Amino acid sequence: MTPSDTPLMSRREARRRDRRKAIMEVAARSFLTHGYAATTMSSIAAELGGSKGTLWSYFPSKEALFAAVLDEATTAYRAQLAELLDPCGDLRTTLERLGLNLLQKVTSPTAIALNRLVLSEAARFPEIGAIFHEYGPLHTRRLIAEFLERAMTRGLLRTADPLLSARTYTVLLMSGCHQMLMLGLIPQATQEQIAADVAVALDCFMRTYAPDPVTPRAR
């Protein structure tokens, strides 16, 4: 390779990166608007103005494209979540901040639309249920589990399965306005509803996972 090749290679890489991003933007819009089944590689290629062969050079299947869209959508949030989970901060304050942030994220119109999409089509296309679970709830629970495990080690929570503990907290958080949104019972979640759901979930979680009392030694 000569020095003159480097700028050309960089431009090619930049074009390929931009093309990949454009594909995922069109795919994300199509998945949310038309559903997984109705979205085809042909329709995405047509909207982009290219061929299916070009599209397949980036993504070998619609399943791989769906996974890439979800990964792109959740990567930034996972980084944000990792910053919130301060292992040295006050446990209750950190969990409250986590709960507020998570509920605001999952009750957004885009998140609710994606949840409805997956729930409506996972029976026919179980692969999208598995992909959604991997890039969404499971990734989030793993991050929370790592934080809870450190809290257990410090004696701030009783020793338990960290991943199960993380699942418990997230399920408690989403049992209120998130569920009502999924069922179409409310048009949107207010900040007051989110705060109330976090308060209930946090109280239940802390009562359940409070450290075991120390039994005084007999003299």
Pick the more confident residue, 72 or 51.
72
For 61-81, the pLDDT digits (tens) are 999 999 999 998 888 888 888
Query: Is pLDDT of 218 > 70?
Result: no
Amino acid letter for position 104: Q
Share of the chain above pLDDT 90, in %: 71
Q: What is the pLDDT averaged over residues 101-121?
A: 94
pTM here is: 0.83
Tell whether the model's pLDDT for residue 155 goes beyond 80.
yes
Residue with tokens 């949310």: 32
Choose between 119 and 212: higher pLDDT: 119
Instruction: Fill in the amino acid letter for 168.
Output: T
Each residue of 188-210: pLDDT tens digit? Answer: 999 999 999 999 999 999 999 99
| pLDDT at residue 202 in the model | 98
Mapping DSSP onto H, E and C, the string for 79-111 reads HHHHHHCCCCCCHHHHHHHHHHHHHHHHCCHHH
